[in-house]
Homo-oligomer: A and B are copies of this chain.
Amino acid sequence: MIYGHDPRTGETVGAALPETDSAGVDLIVSAAAAAGAAWRATPAAERAAALESVADALAAHVDELWQLADQETALGEVRLRGEVARTAGQFRLFAEVIRDGGHLEAIIDHADPSTTPPRPDVRRMKHALQGVVAVFAASNFPFAFSVAGGDTASALAAGCPVVVKAHPGHPNTSERVAKLVREALPYPDLLGLVQGMRAGVDLVQHPGVVAAGFTGSVAGGKAIQRLIDEREVPIPFYGELGSVNPVVVLPSASAKEVATGFAASLTLGVGQFCTNPGLMFVPDDDELRNAIVEAVEGTSGGPMLAERIRDGYLGGVERLGELRLLAEGKPGEGSWAVTPKVFTADLDTFAEKLPGIGEECFGPTSIVVTYREISDLRPVLGRLEGSLTATVHSAEPDEAAEVAEVLAKKAGRLIWNGWPTGVAICWAMHHGGPWPAATTSYTSVGATAIGRWLAPTAYQDWPEALLPDELKDANPLSVPRRVDGRLEV
């Protein structure tokens, strides 16, 4: 059986939930596949309305949901209410995306008898993948990257059924959310939920599964990739793995703003963000250093999401102990509580310890690396692993040009005078980056995330009666298209 646990006490909370056995996984995937055939044939406008019903259901149950999740995650009311709103917002964004239709990338090339050989009529658009999407829920977002998270919203929007492997950190929240979503969908089996590690293995190796999404550790992502490699038919694996999220503070930046912003971003949600600023390069300057020390000492720790995650943090902090401790926050309260800790090193010392020292330690810890000259940064930044984000603090773009150029090779999102935690849900967002930040060049947040669950079909001289509406000459659904080389909106 699987139990939720209260990070504040370490005690079990909620009901005992059975692990899903192999027969159960098979039933759930098969039911999802059957529902998926109807869903796929449902017009985009109706699918969009259904996504909005899911959003409404989540928003209507926020009082219940945040309390349930708080028992299992200790993330607190403000954060969890906000996260439910964000999660609903993701469904609304994808409703907008599929009403627009641009994600289908419809293209029409009319026949051209003047070429050698004569060109036939060729039309192309994307369709939902033919099968079930497996989603592995993350620990750190019990709503936004879990049962009704971004992967689920984007896959449902694309037209795919979804089976989620619940994260063991919040099994009761997962069950409740699944029930709400199933009730809001026209075909409840479009969303399945499985519990337990073994069920995750069965899920990703099930022949009815055609793609997998994952948010978690590098080790976890590699394990899933190995399971996929054992499949007879390979499937795409969209993993968001580790990220250290370097921040570069340039001399013109405001010391005070940097220090307070850094301490807040570092300790938000007990540092349990994929975009936590785990590494910050600062000028070798006493004022800034003192401001950072003061700001970090003003923070407090808290309970982490799971005992295993707490242990991972303690191990990581011990590893960072080979550097000098610069500052620490107040200890958090609760069974699985940890203390924010910031370490420091000069640029040469840090560079000597690469690549190991540059790996993510999940939780409220960071390394502040001091440098003398901006030009010294380039070779060191060039040796960092890929990250989801890279941030520059500066009052002068000219000063930042060289650093920006190197960071652009290292991260999927570049941030100016801000902090990486907090990912806006919008069309332009990219939440991904070079390995190990992500396993592919796709984003897992924002409108273009839907592309992961789509594949194109070309139709050659295909009769109008059998063409999808999106590719008929009259364009009855008014989707954006490229016709004979020209975009039409």
A419 to chain B, nearest CB (A): 10
Asked if B456 contacts A441 (CB within 8 A), the reply is: yes
The verdict on A85 contacting chain B, using a C-beta distance below 8 Å, is yes
Q: CB distance A466 to B428 under 8 Å?
A: no
- The answer to whether A443 has its CB under 8 Å from any CB of chain B is yes
How far, in whole Å, are A120 and B404 apart by their CA atoms in the complex? Answer: 19
Q: Say whether B413 contacts A457, CB under 8 Å.
A: yes
Query: In the complex, A466 Cα to B236 Cα: how many Å?
Result: 34
Chain B residues near A465 (CB, 8 Å)? 397-398
The reply to whether B236 and A400 contact each other, CB–CB distance below 8 Å, is no
Q: Is the CB of B107 within 8 A of A428?
A: yes
Q: Which residues between 432 and 469 of chain A lie within 8 Å of chain B, taking CB atoms?
A: 432, 434-435, 439-441, 443, 446-448, 454-463, 465-466
Q: Does A359 contact B (CB under 8 A)?
A: no
Question: Which residues in B have their C-beta under 8 angstroms from that of A408?
Answer: 127, 457
How long is the Cα–Cα vector from A229 to B225 in the complex, in angstroms? 10
Q: Does A102 contact B (CB under 8 A)?
A: yes
Q: Nearest chain-B residue to A435 (Cβ)?
A: B233
Whether the Cβ atoms of B480 and A109 lie closer than 8 Å is: no
The one of B109, B225, B431, B489 in contact with A428, judged by C-beta atoms closer than 8 angstroms, is B109
Nearest CB to that of A107 among chain B residues?
B428
Interface flags for A475-489 (1: CB within 8 Å of B; 0: not) read: 000001010011111
A119 at the interface (CB under 8 A from B): yes
Neighbouring B residues of A183 by C-beta, 8 Å: none
- Judge if A116 is at the interface, Cβ distance under 8 Å: yes
B residues in contact with A480, CB < 8 Å: 487
Give Cα A415 to B448, complex, Å.
29
Which chain B residues lie closer than 8 Å to A225 at the CB level? 234
Measured between alpha carbons, how far is A129 from B434 in the docked complex, in Å? 10
A485-B414 contact given A116-B82, A117-B422, A400-B466, CB 8 Å threshold = no
Is A426 on the interface with B (CB-CB < 8 A)?
Answer: yes
The distance in angstroms between the C-alpha atoms of A259 and B130, with both chains bound, is: 33
Interface membership of A429, Cβ < 8 A: yes
**Contact B487 A427, beta carbon cutoff 8 Å:** no
Is A167 an interface residue when CB atoms closer than 8 A count as contact? no
Inter-subunit contact A456/B427 (CB<8 Å):
no
Closest Cβ of chain B to A488, distance in Å, is 7
Complexed CA–CA distance, A413 and B120 (Å):
13
Known: A109-B428, A412-B457, A426-B119. A234 touches B397 (CB 8 A): no
B430 contacts A458, C-beta separation under 8 Å: yes
- How far apart are the CA atoms of A108 and B426 in the complex, in Å? 10
> Complex formed: what's the CA distance from A340 to B423 in Å?
60
User: Which chain A residues in 267-293 approach chain B with CB under 8 Å?
Assistant: none
Chain B residues whose CB sits within 8 angstroms of the CB of A482 once the complex forms: 102, 427-428
The docked-state distance in angstroms from the alpha carbon of A466 to that of B395 is 13
Q: How far is the CB of A117 from chain B (nearest CB, A)?
A: 6
Give 1 or 0 for each of A107-132: 1 = CB within 8 Å of chain B CB: 11100000011011011100101100
Residues of chain B lying within 8 A (CB to CB) of residue A446: 124, 458
A447 to B414, CA, bound (A): 29
CB proximity of A125 to chain B, nearest CB, Å: 9
Asked if A412 and B458 sit within 8 Å, CB to CB, the answer is: yes
Which residue of chain B is the closest to A430 with respect to CB atoms? Answer: B458
Known: A107-B427, A434-B130, A487-B480. A120 touches B418 (CB 8 A): yes
Q: 21 pairs across A/B with beta carbons < 8 Å?
A: A85-B116, A100-B487, A102-B487, A109-B428, A122-B424, A123-B428, A124-B428, A229-B229, A398-B465, A400-B466, A414-B462, A415-B462, A416-B459, A416-B462, A416-B463, A418-B461, A428-B458, A432-B456, A486-B489, A487-B487, A489-B489
18 other A-B residue contacts (CB within 8 Å) besides A412-B457, A427-B485: A105-B448, A107-B427, A109-B427, A117-B422, A119-B426, A120-B424, A129-B441, A130-B409, A236-B440, A397-B466, A400-B466, A411-B457, A416-B459, A416-B460, A429-B458, A432-B455, A434-B455, A441-B454
